[in-house]
Amino acid sequence: MKIDINQLVRKNIRELHPYSSARSEFKGNASILLDANENPFGSPLTQNFNRYPDPLQVHLKEKLAALNGVAPDDICIGNGSDQLIDLIIRIFCRPEKDAVMVCPPTFKMYEVAAAVNDAKIKRVMLDDSFQVNADNILSTAGTDTRLIFLCSPNNPTGNNMKRGEMEKIINHFNGMVVVDEAYIHFSTQPSLLNLVKENNNLIVLQTLSKDWGMAGLRIGMAFADKVVIDWLTRTKTPYNINGASQELVLDALEHGGEQVREWRREIVHQRRYLSNELAQLSFVKKVYPSDANFVLARFENGQEVYDYLCSAGIIVRNQSSQPGLDNCLRITAGTPEENQALISELKKFE
């Protein structure tokens, strides 16, 4: 769906005069940089980080654009997707007035960021098979909902949302739909990235924290219409991606593609191993189908299994506090050795 994006942006954001960083006011070739109050001598490191990093991350965006078949100005890079989730809510939701819709059980950050921004929260639960229902969501949205967050594959349930339902929401919602694809490269379903062209109300989030193995460098991407990207860029802090991350990630993107593709295959293979092995344990009630890099399983007594694994030095994620997920543990696919160790500990519990 095409909507009037500027109309949806909060007035204070529309009227913002963005901070202009020292170096971006200058065009041309300079050899003496006395404009930004940096230390001219260097850093007490083998590599120098004494200069402020590129606030627009031009090289990184070019590389990410080429890898994803989009233009550089269709991308905003965040200090992790977390920063982008916060930014999106900040731009579109007026405190106390506008609502964010979430579909639990799902990623908790959407609600945390909504609460930080004092946005209202509307919840439409996923159904028994953890699916979204477009009609339900659209009829609950009302006039105050500005944003709908969908997560596919969904964390912590692991399943894909039905593409038809997601498309229906995107085609009919007169607000922004954020589709979080943190786990898309472990999935059998294709990305919704190619829908961004015809739908300026769609923001697709991806991250380098999972399959790319760079959670510590904090790089998340928002793909959207140029107008949306422009608002994100104007509102973000100028130096949100530090210089070390920019350099290291650029290097990884240039040289790591083959390795990452191999890891994706191996991780999916390991996830299947975990699912099969877990399903054979007598105290496992259900292993949910997963298209991500983890498995959600329901146990007879989740807390007991969780504590038992902790005492064996194996940490998994207890999801019992999520609605509908009592006694459920989320287990990330590790290396073959880690997964075998987990399974052999669980067999002893039995």
Ligand X SMILES: *Cc1c(COP(=O)(O)O)cnc(C)c1O
Q: Cβ of residue 312: shortest distance to ligand X, in angstroms?
A: 25
Cβ-based neighbours of 118, under 8 Å, separated by 6 or more: 95, 96
Q: Which residues pair with 222 in a beta bridge?
A: 76, 205
Q: 3-state class of 90 per DSSP?
A: helix
Say whether residue 199 binds ligand X (CB under 6 A): no
Say whether residue 215 binds ligand X (CB under 6 A): yes
Q: Cβ of residue 197: shortest distance to ligand X, in angstroms?
A: 23
Contact yes or no for 130/157 (Cβ under 8 A): yes
Q: Cβ of residue 23: shortest distance to ligand X, in angstroms?
A: 26
Q: Cβ of residue 165: shortest distance to ligand X, in angstroms?
A: 18
Q: Cβ of residue 1: shortest distance to ligand X, in angstroms?
A: 24
Contact yes or no for 146/92 (Cβ under 8 A): yes
Say whether residue 318 binds ligand X (CB under 6 A): no
Q: Which of 221, 180, 177 is nearest to 201 (CA)?
A: 177
Say whether residue 180 binds ligand X (CB under 6 A): yes
Site map for ligand X, 124-153, x if CB under 6 A?
---------------------------x--
Q: Cβ of residue 258: shortest distance to ligand X, in angstroms?
A: 23
Q: Cβ of residue 182: shortest distance to ligand X, in angstroms?
A: 4
Cβ-based neighbours of 66, under 8 Å, separated by 6 or more: none
The whole-angstrom separation of Cα 243 and Cα 48 is 10
HSE-up of residue 257 (Cα within 13 Å, Cβ side): 9
Q: Which residues pair with 178 in a beta bridge?
A: 149, 203
Binding residues with ligand X: total (CB under 6 A): 13
Say whether residue 296 binds ligand X (CB under 6 A): no
Say whether residue 155 binds ligand X (CB under 6 A): yes
The residue assigned the tokens 């109050």 is 37
Say whether residue 107 binds ligand X (CB under 6 A): yes
CB closer to ligand X out of 268 and 281? 268
Say whether residue 182 binds ligand X (CB under 6 A): yes
Say whether residue 220 binds ligand X (CB under 6 A): yes
Question: Which residue's C-beta sits nearest to ligand X?
Answer: 80
CB closer to ligand X out of 9 and 292? 292
Q: Which helix (H) or strand (E) holds 108?
A: none
Q: Which of 179, 198, 186, 236 is nearest to 57 (CA)?
A: 236
Q: Which residues pair with 284 in a beta bridge?
A: 299
* Subset of 71-100 contacting ligand X (CB under 6 A): 80-82
Q: Which stretch binds ligand X (CB under 6 A): 42-50, 125-133, 186-194, 204-212?
A: 204-212
Please give the torsion angle defined by the CA atoms of residues 12, 17, 21 and 22, in that order, rounded to the nearest 10 degrees: -150
Residues in contact with ligand X by the rule CB under 6 A: 80-82, 107, 151, 155, 180, 182, 207, 209-210, 215, 220
